[in-house]
Amino acid sequence: MTDTLILRCSTGGRPVLVMGAVPDAEYWLGALTLRTTLFRGWDAAATVPGVAPMERPRDASSLDEAVAGSVLVIILDEQAPELASVIRAARAANVPIWVPGRPEAGTAEPVLPEKRRPARQTADHPEQTVSATRAAGGTATGFVSLVGAGPGAPDLLTLRGLRTLQRADVVIHDRLVAASLLAHVPPDAERIFVGKRRSNHAVPQEQINQLLLDRAREGKHVVRLKGGDPFIFGRGGEEIEHLMEAGVPFQVVPGVTAASGCAAYAGIPLTHRDHAQSCVFATGHRREGELDLDFDGLVRDGRTLVFYMGLHSLQDLCHGLIKHGMRADMPAALVQQGTTVAQRVVTAPLSALPETVAQSGIRAPTLLIIGEVVGLRDRLAWFEGTREPMAWAENPDR
Ligand code: SAH
């Protein structure tokens, strides 16, 4: 729990209540005098003279009183245990709330907008303000969390990802998300499946972008849950670009990408002092039927290549690499449903891999790893799947 300090500073007889951890509060109070944000009827830039720590109110009514007697409440610590009651009291007494850097989260109306674009997030769990404001009966601009769900095993989600899911009002999820992760979402949260199956284009990207905006504008905390890491072949960049243009605040929670997950669970270190000094992530996905790859640029000694979405282009990928100078007997592996109980790994020399895979009955999703490091698997393999290929987060409504 953050060490919360409630400070009161006087501006010409009108006290301002500041809630925050000590260093933050000092920083912001210092910064206040320099900032140019003006509030209607109150000039924040002009005066912040004496600042005195207040006795932390012992009971709810003295806290309410302190809030009601203030001209403005500044919330720096969005994890403070008193947050919800402070918001409630401020609303009851009509005292404006200001969350520095996130004017949309409060009620104080700046004369000059702080910034047109959503402010950079600094608080530990910025989405909490949305929930706390709503818990206090108010409305806030919503908030979007773009969360990486990890590579498959549900417990490879980050701790931050889990906490974010637990605070979701809406979850918009993909196909490559372990179904059991949705169990962490509050039962009354809305769940929307927008996954794409290869042959069946589910929800087009523009519609997903719009959905994120619409739900956030309802004042909700929207979690966009995506397989692996949102910024690695995940179109996460496109999604936040839309949010940014629309001025909707967001955070990005990284995830364990398929390359790290699959390689670790297959016993293939992606880099190794003796075998690979670099590693490249590439896509085997075709655009308008064509592989859009610079094979010449990819083939280098001492480099591991990882291909996402490579199963359907496997033959062309292997041939292309050999044609551009890669050894035909370079060790290569295809990992099916890595990190899950259905993990399977097929290895072969590069030239023989397509044939070996064709005979193996391997199923998507798969990740292709090529390089000397694949040879280490013979000694380093430590994990084996135990079950049939699994269905991934099937749409419960389908
Ligand atoms: N953003 C994701 C990648 C999305 S692209 C990430 O960071 O991992 C989807 C591709 O990722 C799949 O076609 C497959 O190549 C790969 N992939 C994702 N999860 C996988 C898994 N558990 N096992 C094998 N490949 C996986």
- Output the residue whose Cα is nearest ligand 1's atom 13: 309
**Can you tell me which residue has the tokens 């003295």?**
62
- Output the residue whose Cα is nearest ligand 1's atom 2: 228
Q: Catalytic one among 174, 220, 226, 229?
A: 174
143 membership: H or E segment, kind and range:
strand 143-148
* Residues carrying CATH 3.40.1010.10, the chain: 126-256
Pocket around ligand 1 at a 6 A CB cut-off:
151-152, 176, 226-229, 232-234, 257-258, 262, 308-309, 335, 337-339, 365-367
**Can you tell me which residue has the tokens 């670790």?**
264
Known catalytic residue at 174 = yes
**Can you tell me which residue has the tokens 């199963």?**
311
- What superfamily does domain 259-380 belong to in CATH? Tetrapyrrole methylase, C-terminal domain (3.30.950.10)
What is the 229 CA–ligand 1 centroid distance (Å)? 9
**Can you tell me which residue has the tokens 């962490």?**
184
Q: What CATH number labels 126-256? A: 3.40.1010.10
Sheet holding 14-21, edge to edge: 51-53, 4-11, 14-21, 72-75, 97-98
If one compares 317 and 58, the residue with the highest pLDDT of the two is 317
What is the 322 CA–ligand 1 centroid distance (Å)? 24
pTM here is: 0.70
Q: Reduce the DSSP state of residue 322 to 3 states and report it.
A: helix
Q: What percent of the chain has pLDDT over 70?
A: 70
Report the pLDDT averaged over residues 58-63. 75
pLDDT at 99: 72
Ligand 1, pocket-test mutation among 233, 313, 343, most atoms within 8 A of CB: 233
* Residues carrying CATH 3.30.950.10, the chain: 259-380
What is the 367 CA–ligand 1 centroid distance (Å)? 7
Q: Contact, 101 vs 120, CB < 8 A?
A: yes
If one compares 222 and 58, the residue with the highest pLDDT of the two is 222
Contacts of 152 (CB under 8 A, 6+ apart): 176, 178, 227, 258, 261, 337, 338, 339, 340, 343, 392
pLDDT at 170: 96
**Can you tell me which residue has the tokens 């169990």?**
183
Known catalytic residue at 59 = no
65-104 pLDDT, tens digit each: 878 877 777 776 666 677 788 888 888 888 878 776 566 6
